[in-house]
Structure 1
């Protein structure tokens, strides 16, 4: 099955789940499971030897594309390090953070909020951060179908809304901040909220009016807009969150110091290598740079403010 067909079939399934939850679930928040039990069990049952570098990723875009997106980088690191590099894929940022916390994973490709949570808890540190279209910052976009009458976040009061992940900055926390500045809380402002665990599924839910509005990553939105993606062209932006540091690559704090240095050197020098340049191009990244902690201060402040609301919803 090609990717476009795969994504459309997955979205049909997502739509059916959303409709089912809307019609029969009394709770205000609902979790969408994008993995079958078979896939989840397969991901969790794999055993790796001690020499294998384990990279964990969450499905920030649809599960299939998330995995395919980083295959070039994985192969590059495997060759340069001279050791096996394997990927564990999970649905949520919380699950990926746990893999780093318990030592199952060595490095993760995560979001900015998940990074700051892990950093505050002391088991994670930044490795490198991406520069995209010359920027080291990004933000949350609130989007809706362009034919809807909604022109601002206020217009979504009492409507259906799609978050990405409980600990996504652009996909949730930034929205909580925007609502708080208007004197609202998400659980009383929206009629019902959903977690899609994928920015592109949130995009599709909004463009097809399965939900009235959605939060998504400005980086992905702008890239798809540049590509004249028809789904993005069917959306309009009705709100923007505060700028924060781009989602970094992070590592467990207990990782071997020599390996930390080697990984940082390899990734920072990608732009100097022809193969590395191709990898960066496929990822839509200009280059990687050292993590600037100051870029994440806004997230640290919001964690202090909304910490008790950062949780995994029950199914």
Structure 2
């Protein structure tokens, strides 16, 4: 059965600092509020947020706050409720937020010179697991139930292999299914032997220590997925959107590229093309997440 881990279980599974829910750094009515999802250790992310929001505030001449949500769904709710103006999130939660609240895509991340990446199923090299079928009855950790590379696309590889019919059949195939709260948490759980496999982004192994990286491999990879996206709540002032977008695009310049490490480490940003996410919408419909 699928298990959504509570805070105590998450910490035991993925190590201290596995997940954290933070409130905004300051409470100013005029501030631009940014929501971040915990793809990596949230304690590190909080320091990164402070660095990037300070730089953005100086660039756009508007106070900027940042906070970490507990998962993608909480980020969407923050946009819906007006607790956040802009959020960094994956392609799947974006298309759900687009359908539910009219969220507006602003920017797409670029990795390795491409605005796309894949999802993978990772295992330990010494596990004896060489194929998806070997995971029958085994435990697996995914990042988030509404993550494309951290759940839906890796799980679809089991469907393509004829091992399950869809998400609803996963519990009959695996021993247990965990949602660990982020890429790093899922990967740590796998690397430490607490689960047998992890479904996460193709770059999620970079969140492990060098020693752990040498001990893990991947056994399946999804088709390309449109990269993570930066979205705005509907109704956010158009001028503020433009200022923010233009400032973020300045991160592509050589003198600013060092700051990308504060934003999950992409190679840069491009203006988002909503049409590029059509395949994600199709996937979401196929698995009953969109009408």
Q: Find out whether 1:121 has 2:95 as its counterpart.
A: no
Partner residue in 2 for 1:198: 182
Structure 1: which 4+ aligned runs deviate by more than 4 Å?
Answer: none
Superposed CA RMSD: 2.3
Task: Pick from 282, 287, 291 the counterpart of residue 306 of structure 1.
Answer: 287
8 A contact 1:130–1:136 mirrored in 2: yes
Task: Pick from 31, 50, 54 the counterpart of residue 5 of structure 2.
Answer: 31
Partner residue in 2 for 1:207: 191
Shift of 1:273: 6.4
Unpaired segments ≥5 residues, structure 1: 1-26, 310-315
Partner residue in 2 for 1:99: 78
Partner residue in 2 for 1:280: 260
Q: Distance in 2 between matches of 1:32 and 1:217?
A: 23
Q: Distance in 2 between matches of 1:150 and 1:32?
A: 28
The CA deviation string for residues 145-185 of structure 1, in whole angstroms up to 9 with x for no partner, is 11011112221111101011110111111133222223303
Partner residue in 2 for 1:186: 170
Q: Find out whether 1:231 has 2:212 as its counterpart.
A: yes
Partner residue in 1 for 2:14: none
1:42-81 superposed matches below 5 A: 43=23, 48-81=27-60
Partner residue in 2 for 1:111: 90
8 A contact 2:140–2:196 mirrored in 1: yes
Structure 1 stretch displaced more, 172-181 or 159-168: 172-181
Structure 1 stretch displaced more, 110-119 or 59-68: 59-68
Structure 1 stretch displaced more, 121-130 or 160-169: 121-130
Shift of 1:47: 6.8
The alignment partner of 1:216 has SS state of strand
8 A contact 2:49–2:67 mirrored in 1: no
Structure 1 stretch displaced more, 114-123 or 67-76: 67-76
The alignment partner of 2:228 has SS state of coil
Shift of 1:28: 4.0
Unpaired segments ≥5 residues, structure 2: 12-16
Q: Distance in 2 between matches of 1:28 and 1:280?
A: 34
Shift of 1:271: 2.3
Q: Distance in 1 between matches of 2:276 and 2:204?
A: 19
The CA deviation string for residues 183-233 of structure 1, in whole angstroms up to 9 with x for no partner, is 303121111011111211211111121101111111333x458xx722121
Partner residue in 2 for 1:244: 225
8 A contact 1:202–1:216 mirrored in 2: yes
Q: Find out whether 1:86 has 2:65 as its counterpart.
A: yes
Give the aligned length: 275
The alignment partner of 2:62 has SS state of coil
Q: Give the direction of change, closer, same or farther, for the CA distance of 1:75–1:176 in structure 2 (3 Å limit).
A: same
The CA deviation string for residues 227-248 of structure 1, in whole angstroms up to 9 with x for no partner, is x722121101011112111111
